[in-house]
Structure 1
């Protein structure tokens, strides 16, 4: 069965040109000249890749992206625009657009991106399939990893906490599998199709860690030549795993606390503009934080 591609473009000449190229490449092609028509087709006909303009007469291409992901999170979306802005690009990537192509473009470039999107979509589906198998096996009543009574108790707790929105702190000595437990919590939750982002808080200096977590604006500091999306934004709708959180400075802890309480933060150099996210936090440490607080 041929891979199915939906083209959403109100410029008829461009739409027909893309369709002919995709037809010749062997794809099953659908067309829509408006956002409303595109949504109708997304709701009624299967699709693997959507190629959509950003500026449509009746709708924004980002709305098409949202709808495609709502219908089927495995649909890959390629956005086209003649009016590229940093804000639109960031929004598109946060919503998991596969690519963002500026007009005019070579048709071969678009065909290459469609092929890559299909390949990546299949790989992502396989990874998610095996991750779910791994999660079920790890948490199964007869799993080898749960032979000891202590481990069975831990996995029992994970079974209960994974489907909830609760923030989780995992404590234990280095090498005891804290990252694996964090992954099991993520893949056992409703967020399992969204990113699982890992950060080692002990591996970076305080200033570098803040940039890593929250990102920075262009010109925020010497060497910041372009906007950088931080780990919290990358983990939007998913889970962020903060390993060795006990090594984080009080200043950075305060900023993380704001994310926990308000689900928002500011990029370095942002002049007070907040970024909203929907992120679950799972943290781990090899330290006794109660003793650390007293000291």
Structure 2
């Protein structure tokens, strides 16, 4: 239950009396003598009620109501009025005020009005939160494409973790979309308006690593001309994405650990520490703890980075996402080049589904762009050369069955309806492809 109340009144005796009543009843109270001060310090989505006098120097209670209605029409405002102000207060309620109390009022009357107003505010904020979550979910579905259970679970995890102030480790093969997931963790969280800095640890020469991350002062080393802001300092307030973190030199791992622990860094050649507020999202192919046991990675840093972990399934383990992804990449390429989108034939789709995609989504995107240009992609040519049409169609049928079984979590009736197959035919096809209902049941 919400319990925050802002009291705006130019009379100190009224402010103090109301504060005493409310504090004794467990309310969190803020006091302001002027409406301008209240507006300057009011946070977005304030979780409470505004209690304001009508007649005040500067902005009146009526003008404050008007400003608050513009900022947040769902914020309850209760007006405190003198006897002669009642007609004015009634008019204010028509303009959006929640209630008015005529002075002098009793604590019981005040508590009753506040209780109702806080209940309304709680409903407004909860409804607003649900709408925002639904909007974010729709936006994320358009960013992390896929209908497989794995992708649906990944989107749920990303939305949950995006709002939390924790470091995240992303595990996945090359080309599986680790940077895109890291970007979503940033864009769908409270740091979205701050910098997102991506750094590939395997692409930086070891001699330049420290300067790249931490920056340097003028003359810190030979060739250090002028002061340079490092990537970590530049990302202050935002997110740093460290791809292939397993490639980071051990010496820099120790310095990164210190930044995470102390929220401070020092440029090369400097003696003064700089405070930084960072979220670290790291990505790796191997298991960092195994790397630590082999002496190639600091175990303490591995634990600091892996507060939460996201695992990205390779494309071969979520083949039902291939048609949607291929169509998306091909259409995007065609639009970018001003060309008409090329249709995908059944034989081409079977070839796509039969391929193992060792390069994952990156390789699929390349194949889709070649398709949009009217070129045969290498994987399609290989699939066509190595398999007969019958074999390709068999592979396509097996993938359709797997996708339906995953979607309906092994529920046979749903699979029959989705694929428009009688029970006996479905059983025969599942048996021929070695598919067992039990393998697709929900955990």
TM-score between both structures, scaled by the size of structure 1: 0.52
**How much does 1:139 deviate?**
2.5
Map 1:268-283; keep pairs closer than 5 Å.
268-270=268-270, 272-283=271-282
1:291: which partner in 2? 290
**How much does 1:144 deviate?**
7.4
Indicate how the Cα distance of structure 1 residues 145 and 233 shifts in structure 2: closer, same or farther if over 3 A, else same.
same
Give the aligned length.
167
1:149: which partner in 2? 149
Question: Does structure 1 residue 191 correspond to structure 2 residue 191?
Answer: yes
Question: Does structure 1 residue 224 correspond to structure 2 residue 224?
Answer: yes
Map 1:106-185; keep pairs closer than 5 Å.
136-140=137-141, 145-185=145-185
Are the equivalent residues in 2 in contact too, given 1:138–1:145 (CA < 8 A)?
no
Structure 1: distance between partners of 2:165 and 2:220: 33
Structure 1: distance between partners of 2:143 and 2:259: 36
Indicate how the Cα distance of structure 1 residues 154 and 215 shifts in structure 2: closer, same or farther if over 3 A, else same.
same
**How much does 1:159 deviate?**
1.1
Are the equivalent residues in 2 in contact too, given 1:163–1:188 (CA < 8 A)?
yes
2:236: which partner in 1? 236
Structure 1: distance between partners of 2:138 and 2:250: 39
Are the equivalent residues in 1 in contact too, given 2:137–2:159 (CA < 8 A)?
no
Aligned-residue Cα RMSD (Å) equals: 2.7
| Structure 2 unmatched runs, 5+ | 1-36, 41-134, 295-443
| Structure 1 unmatched runs, 5+ | 1-39, 44-133
Q: Deviations along 1:155-209, whole A, 9 cap, x unmatched?
A: 1111111001000110111100000000000011111001111111110122311
Are the equivalent residues in 2 in contact too, given 1:245–1:283 (CA < 8 A)?
yes
1:209: which partner in 2? 209
Structure 2: distance between partners of 1:135 and 1:221: 47
Map 1:84-95; keep pairs closer than 5 Å.
none
Structure holding more strand per residue? 1
Indicate how the Cα distance of structure 1 residues 144 and 278 shifts in structure 2: closer, same or farther if over 3 A, else same.
closer
Indicate how the Cα distance of structure 1 residues 237 and 292 shifts in structure 2: closer, same or farther if over 3 A, else same.
same
Are the equivalent residues in 1 in contact too, given 2:214–2:268 (CA < 8 A)?
yes
Structure holding more helix per residue? 2
2:68: which partner in 1? none
